[in-house]
Structure 1
Amino acid sequence: MIRTFRWEDYDAVAAVWAAAGADVLPRAELEPKLTRDPELFLVAAPEGIIAGTVLGTWDGRRGWIFRLAVDPAHRRKGIATSLVHELESRFEALGCPRVNLLVLPHNKAGLRFWQELGYLPAPDVLCTKPLRSQPPEK
Protein backbone atom coordinates (compact mmCIF):
# COMPACT_ATOMS: atom_id res chain seq x y z
CA MET A 1 0.00 0.00 0.00
CA ILE A 2 1.40 3.39 -1.00
CA ARG A 3 0.12 6.48 0.73
CA THR A 4 1.04 10.03 1.65
CA PHE A 5 3.48 10.51 4.53
CA ARG A 6 2.00 11.44 7.92
CA TRP A 7 4.00 12.92 10.79
CA GLU A 8 3.46 9.78 12.86
CA ASP A 9 5.47 7.98 10.14
CA TYR A 10 8.58 10.05 10.79
CA ASP A 11 10.46 7.60 13.04
CA ALA A 12 9.77 4.69 10.68
CA VAL A 13 10.83 6.74 7.64
CA ALA A 14 13.99 7.83 9.45
CA ALA A 15 14.72 4.16 10.16
CA VAL A 16 14.29 3.31 6.45
CA TRP A 17 16.66 6.13 5.46
CA ALA A 18 19.22 4.96 8.01
CA ALA A 19 18.92 1.29 6.99
CA ALA A 20 19.35 2.29 3.34
CA GLY A 21 22.49 4.29 4.17
CA ALA A 22 20.95 7.72 3.59
CA ASP A 23 21.21 10.74 5.85
CA VAL A 24 18.13 11.25 7.99
CA LEU A 25 16.40 14.55 7.29
CA PRO A 26 15.49 16.34 10.51
CA ARG A 27 11.86 17.22 11.14
CA ALA A 28 12.66 20.93 10.88
CA GLU A 29 13.88 20.44 7.31
CA LEU A 30 10.72 18.55 6.33
CA GLU A 31 8.22 21.01 7.84
CA PRO A 32 8.48 23.68 5.08
CA LYS A 33 8.34 20.99 2.38
CA LEU A 34 5.17 19.52 3.84
CA THR A 35 3.41 22.89 3.83
CA ARG A 36 4.08 23.19 0.09
CA ASP A 37 3.28 19.82 -1.51
CA PRO A 38 2.69 17.16 1.15
CA GLU A 39 1.03 14.82 -1.35
CA LEU A 40 4.42 14.23 -2.98
CA PHE A 41 6.04 12.64 0.07
CA LEU A 42 5.09 8.96 -0.10
CA VAL A 43 5.57 5.85 1.97
CA ALA A 44 5.14 2.21 1.05
CA ALA A 45 3.59 0.31 3.92
CA PRO A 46 2.86 -3.27 2.91
CA GLU A 47 1.30 -5.11 5.83
CA GLY A 48 1.27 -1.85 7.78
CA ILE A 49 5.07 -1.63 8.09
CA ILE A 50 6.87 1.23 6.36
CA ALA A 51 9.32 -0.43 4.00
CA GLY A 52 10.11 2.40 1.58
CA THR A 53 9.75 6.10 0.94
CA VAL A 54 10.23 8.72 -1.75
CA LEU A 55 10.22 12.49 -1.50
CA GLY A 56 8.98 14.45 -4.49
CA THR A 57 8.76 18.20 -5.01
CA TRP A 58 7.26 20.36 -7.72
CA ASP A 59 8.22 23.96 -8.36
CA GLY A 60 5.40 24.62 -10.83
CA ARG A 61 7.65 23.84 -13.78
CA ARG A 62 9.57 20.64 -13.02
CA GLY A 63 9.09 17.76 -10.68
CA TRP A 64 12.02 16.46 -8.67
CA ILE A 65 12.50 13.07 -7.09
CA PHE A 66 14.64 12.90 -3.96
CA ARG A 67 15.41 10.32 -1.33
CA LEU A 68 14.00 7.13 -2.80
CA ALA A 69 14.84 4.49 -0.20
CA VAL A 70 13.72 0.94 0.55
CA ASP A 71 14.71 -0.94 3.67
CA PRO A 72 17.22 -3.63 2.60
CA ALA A 73 15.03 -6.30 4.21
CA HIS A 74 12.23 -5.40 1.77
CA ARG A 75 14.15 -4.94 -1.48
CA ARG A 76 13.57 -6.79 -4.76
CA LYS A 77 9.79 -6.76 -4.23
CA GLY A 78 8.89 -3.87 -6.56
CA ILE A 79 8.47 -1.33 -3.76
CA ALA A 80 10.78 1.29 -5.27
CA THR A 81 9.16 0.95 -8.69
CA SER A 82 5.68 1.26 -7.17
CA LEU A 83 6.69 4.36 -5.23
CA VAL A 84 8.08 5.99 -8.37
CA HIS A 85 5.01 5.13 -10.47
CA GLU A 86 2.67 6.58 -7.84
CA LEU A 87 4.78 9.73 -7.56
CA GLU A 88 4.79 10.11 -11.35
CA SER A 89 0.98 9.80 -11.35
CA ARG A 90 0.74 12.53 -8.76
CA PHE A 91 3.09 14.75 -10.77
CA GLU A 92 0.93 14.21 -13.87
CA ALA A 93 -2.20 15.14 -11.91
CA LEU A 94 -0.52 18.46 -11.07
CA GLY A 95 0.22 19.12 -14.74
CA CYS A 96 3.95 18.53 -14.34
CA PRO A 97 5.55 18.08 -17.79
CA ARG A 98 8.99 16.72 -16.76
CA VAL A 99 10.61 15.04 -13.77
CA ASN A 100 14.27 15.33 -12.81
CA LEU A 101 16.43 13.51 -10.29
CA LEU A 102 20.05 13.20 -9.28
CA VAL A 103 22.10 10.00 -9.13
CA LEU A 104 25.54 10.07 -7.56
CA PRO A 105 28.27 8.96 -9.99
CA HIS A 106 29.30 5.93 -7.93
CA ASN A 107 25.73 4.61 -7.69
CA LYS A 108 25.78 2.26 -10.70
CA ALA A 109 22.83 0.18 -9.45
CA GLY A 110 20.81 3.34 -8.88
CA LEU A 111 21.55 4.64 -12.36
CA ARG A 112 20.55 1.28 -13.86
CA PHE A 113 17.28 1.32 -11.86
CA TRP A 114 16.37 4.80 -13.08
CA GLN A 115 17.26 3.99 -16.68
CA GLU A 116 15.02 0.91 -16.55
CA LEU A 117 12.18 3.27 -15.59
CA GLY A 118 12.90 5.51 -18.60
CA TYR A 119 15.01 8.22 -16.96
CA LEU A 120 17.89 9.28 -19.18
CA PRO A 121 21.21 10.67 -17.98
CA ALA A 122 21.79 14.31 -18.90
CA PRO A 123 25.20 15.98 -19.18
CA ASP A 124 24.23 18.73 -16.76
CA VAL A 125 26.59 19.82 -14.04
CA LEU A 126 25.18 20.06 -10.55
CA CYS A 127 26.17 23.17 -8.67
CA THR A 128 25.26 23.62 -5.04
CA LYS A 129 25.79 26.20 -2.31
CA PRO A 130 24.64 25.96 1.29
CA LEU A 131 22.76 29.09 2.31
CA ARG A 132 22.93 28.67 6.06
CA SER A 133 26.10 28.41 8.03
CA GLN A 134 26.42 24.93 9.43
CA PRO A 135 27.70 24.21 12.93
CA PRO A 136 31.27 22.95 12.88
CA GLU A 137 31.63 19.19 12.73
CA LYS A 138 32.87 17.60 15.93
Structure 2
Amino acid sequence: MIYSREFCWRDYDDVAALWAATGRDVLPRGELTAKLTRDPQLFLVAEVDGVIAGVVLGTYDGRRGWILRLAVDPAHRRQGIATVLVGELEARFTTMGCPRVNLLVMPDSTAALRFWQTLGYLPMPDVLCTKPMGDTSRQPLG
Protein backbone atom coordinates (compact mmCIF):
# COMPACT_ATOMS: atom_id res chain seq x y z
CA MET A 1 0.00 0.00 0.00
CA ILE A 2 1.20 3.52 -0.85
CA TYR A 3 1.16 6.02 1.99
CA SER A 4 1.88 9.71 1.30
CA ARG A 5 2.77 12.23 3.97
CA GLU A 6 4.73 15.43 4.59
CA PHE A 7 8.49 15.28 4.56
CA CYS A 8 10.20 15.43 7.96
CA TRP A 9 13.91 15.82 8.62
CA ARG A 10 14.44 12.17 9.57
CA ASP A 11 13.59 11.45 5.88
CA TYR A 12 16.44 13.55 4.50
CA ASP A 13 19.02 10.80 3.98
CA ASP A 14 16.47 8.51 2.31
CA VAL A 15 15.19 11.33 0.08
CA ALA A 16 18.76 12.31 -0.83
CA ALA A 17 19.52 8.68 -1.74
CA LEU A 18 16.35 8.50 -3.84
CA TRP A 19 17.26 11.70 -5.70
CA ALA A 20 20.75 10.33 -6.35
CA ALA A 21 19.33 6.98 -7.56
CA THR A 22 17.15 8.81 -10.07
CA GLY A 23 19.96 11.02 -11.34
CA ARG A 24 18.72 14.19 -9.65
CA ASP A 25 20.93 16.65 -7.82
CA VAL A 26 20.57 16.34 -4.06
CA LEU A 27 19.28 19.54 -2.53
CA PRO A 28 21.42 20.64 0.41
CA ARG A 29 19.84 20.92 3.83
CA GLY A 30 20.17 24.72 3.72
CA GLU A 31 18.00 25.01 0.60
CA LEU A 32 15.41 22.67 2.04
CA THR A 33 15.38 24.55 5.34
CA ALA A 34 14.56 27.76 3.47
CA LYS A 35 11.87 26.00 1.43
CA LEU A 36 10.28 24.42 4.49
CA THR A 37 9.82 27.79 6.19
CA ARG A 38 7.48 28.79 3.37
CA ASP A 39 5.14 25.87 2.64
CA PRO A 40 6.28 22.65 4.32
CA GLN A 41 2.95 20.97 3.57
CA LEU A 42 3.95 20.88 -0.12
CA PHE A 43 7.00 18.63 0.31
CA LEU A 44 5.70 15.05 0.25
CA VAL A 45 7.13 11.57 0.43
CA ALA A 46 5.50 8.28 -0.46
CA GLU A 47 6.18 5.15 1.54
CA VAL A 48 5.70 1.57 0.45
CA ASP A 49 6.07 -0.95 3.26
CA GLY A 50 7.77 1.70 5.41
CA VAL A 51 10.37 2.57 2.76
CA ILE A 52 10.47 5.96 1.03
CA ALA A 53 9.77 5.12 -2.61
CA GLY A 54 8.85 8.54 -4.00
CA VAL A 55 9.11 12.26 -3.35
CA VAL A 56 7.67 15.46 -4.76
CA LEU A 57 8.48 19.04 -3.92
CA GLY A 58 5.83 21.67 -4.52
CA THR A 59 5.69 25.39 -3.88
CA TYR A 60 3.01 28.07 -3.99
CA ASP A 61 3.68 31.80 -4.29
CA GLY A 62 0.08 32.92 -3.79
CA ARG A 63 -0.56 33.05 -7.53
CA ARG A 64 0.76 29.82 -9.05
CA GLY A 65 1.69 26.42 -7.72
CA TRP A 66 4.76 24.66 -9.01
CA ILE A 67 5.54 20.96 -9.02
CA LEU A 68 9.27 20.39 -8.70
CA ARG A 69 11.45 17.32 -8.37
CA LEU A 70 8.99 14.45 -8.69
CA ALA A 71 11.04 11.27 -8.32
CA VAL A 72 10.19 7.62 -7.80
CA ASP A 73 12.74 4.96 -6.88
CA PRO A 74 13.42 2.90 -10.02
CA ALA A 75 12.60 -0.31 -8.11
CA HIS A 76 9.11 1.04 -7.32
CA ARG A 77 8.07 2.54 -10.65
CA ARG A 78 4.82 1.70 -12.45
CA GLN A 79 2.97 1.17 -9.16
CA GLY A 80 1.04 4.45 -9.09
CA ILE A 81 3.37 6.21 -6.63
CA ALA A 82 3.87 9.31 -8.78
CA THR A 83 0.13 9.57 -9.38
CA VAL A 84 -0.58 9.33 -5.64
CA LEU A 85 2.01 12.00 -4.83
CA VAL A 86 0.75 14.39 -7.52
CA GLY A 87 -2.87 13.81 -6.46
CA GLU A 88 -2.07 14.63 -2.84
CA LEU A 89 -0.06 17.69 -3.86
CA GLU A 90 -2.90 18.91 -6.09
CA ALA A 91 -5.37 18.47 -3.22
CA ARG A 92 -3.14 20.59 -1.00
CA PHE A 93 -2.85 23.26 -3.70
CA THR A 94 -6.64 23.32 -3.98
CA THR A 95 -7.02 23.72 -0.22
CA MET A 96 -4.66 26.71 -0.40
CA GLY A 97 -6.79 28.34 -3.12
CA CYS A 98 -4.21 27.82 -5.86
CA PRO A 99 -5.83 28.55 -9.27
CA ARG A 100 -3.16 26.99 -11.54
CA VAL A 101 -0.23 24.61 -11.24
CA ASN A 102 2.85 24.68 -13.46
CA LEU A 103 5.74 22.30 -13.94
CA LEU A 104 8.72 21.87 -16.22
CA VAL A 105 9.50 18.81 -18.32
CA MET A 106 12.79 18.34 -20.13
CA PRO A 107 12.10 18.45 -23.88
CA ASP A 108 13.66 15.03 -24.55
CA SER A 109 11.69 13.29 -21.80
CA THR A 110 8.79 11.90 -23.79
CA ALA A 111 7.77 9.40 -21.09
CA ALA A 112 7.53 12.19 -18.51
CA LEU A 113 5.54 14.36 -20.90
CA ARG A 114 3.11 11.48 -21.53
CA PHE A 115 2.74 10.95 -17.76
CA TRP A 116 1.90 14.61 -17.13
CA GLN A 117 -0.51 14.76 -20.07
CA THR A 118 -2.31 11.70 -18.67
CA LEU A 119 -2.90 13.75 -15.51
CA GLY A 120 -4.29 16.68 -17.51
CA TYR A 121 -1.20 18.89 -17.78
CA LEU A 122 -0.87 20.52 -21.18
CA PRO A 123 2.36 21.61 -22.86
CA MET A 124 2.73 25.37 -23.28
CA PRO A 125 5.02 27.18 -25.71
CA ASP A 126 6.71 29.17 -22.95
CA VAL A 127 10.44 29.80 -22.96
CA LEU A 128 12.26 29.05 -19.74
CA CYS A 129 14.74 31.68 -18.65
CA THR A 130 16.93 31.28 -15.60
CA LYS A 131 19.55 33.32 -13.79
CA PRO A 132 21.72 32.02 -10.95
CA MET A 133 21.70 34.32 -7.95
CA GLY A 134 24.54 34.67 -5.47
CA ASP A 135 26.75 31.60 -5.18
CA THR A 136 26.99 30.31 -8.77
CA SER A 137 28.46 26.98 -7.64
CA ARG A 138 24.97 25.85 -6.55
CA GLN A 139 22.49 24.36 -8.97
CA PRO A 140 19.06 26.05 -9.34
CA LEU A 141 15.98 24.27 -7.99
CA GLY A 142 14.24 22.25 -10.59
* TM-score over 0.5 (shorter chain): yes
Report which of the two has the higher share of strand: 2
Distance 1:81 1:15 in 2: 21
- 1:2-37: CA deviation from partner (whole Å, max 9, x where unpaired): 000000000000111111111111111111100000
Aligned counterpart, 2:110: 108
Q: CA RMSD in A?
A: 1.1
The answer as to 2:74 corresponding to 1:56 is: no
The alpha carbon displacement at 1:133 in A equals 3.0
The alpha carbon displacement at 1:135 in A equals 3.9
Aligned counterpart, 1:131: 133
Identity level (%):
71
Aligned counterpart, 1:41: 43
Report which of the two has the higher share of helix: 1
The alpha carbon displacement at 1:134 in A equals 2.4
Normalising by structure 2, report the TM-score. Answer: 0.93
Normalising by structure 1, report the TM-score. Answer: 0.96
Which residue of the other structure, out of 83, 90, 101, is the alignment partner of 2:85? 83
SS at match of 2:116: helix
Distance 2:79 2:126 in 1: 32
Aligned counterpart, 1:120: 122
- Listed as ranges, the gaps of 5+ residues in structure 1 are none
- Listed as ranges, the gaps of 5+ residues in structure 2 are none
SS at match of 1:128: coil
The answer as to 2:78 corresponding to 1:71 is: no
